[in-house]
Amino acid sequence: MRWPRLVAVAVLGAALSGPLAGCGGHSTANPKADQAFLNSVYSNAPDISSYRNGKQLVSLGQVICGDFDSGASMLEVSDRVPLIEGNVLLPPGDLGVVISAAVDELCPQFKSVLGQ
């Protein structure tokens, strides 16, 4: 998983301001994919449960995929998603894990966005 690079992008995205060009919802009707996503997130960011519960994380993963589907860049996604489904910002490392797991498990068609 290439999340260290995502952390840098997330930090850069948080420092920049700008509207998100395309905000879309993405619905996964695949409970196995949702569980694989959660397993990946929890194994790579064990502290994340103090920020978001499983339902919030799946929703966040779906939003990430929807944003990529709408044409958003990595920078736009990392700038937008830290507060979705919660009042506390996700730490940059956890945000990188969530974005990477979403692409790996929920919307693998966007792996090129992560350089995979």
pLDDT tens digit sequence for 22-72: 334 445 568 999 999 999 999 999 999 998 999 999 999 999 999 999 999
Expressed as residue numbers, the domain containing 84 is 3-13+27-111
SS3 content of the chain, % helix, strand, coil (to 5): 70, 0, 30
Q: Is residue 116 part of a domain?
A: no
Q: Which of 50, 62, 59, 63 is nearest to 94 (CA)?
A: 50
At residue 85 the predicted structure's pLDDT band, cuts being 50, 70 and 90, is confident
Q: Is residue 22 part of a domain?
A: no
For the chain, the domain total comes to 1
Q: Hunting for tokens 């995502």 — which residue is that? A: 6
Q: Is residue 19 part of a domain?
A: no
HSE at residue 46, side-chain half, CA atoms within 13 A, is 1
Question: CB under 8 Å to 110, separation ≥6 — which residues?
Answer: 65, 68, 69, 103
Q: Is residue 41 part of a domain?
A: yes
pTM, full prediction: 0.74
Q: Is residue 59 part of a domain?
A: yes
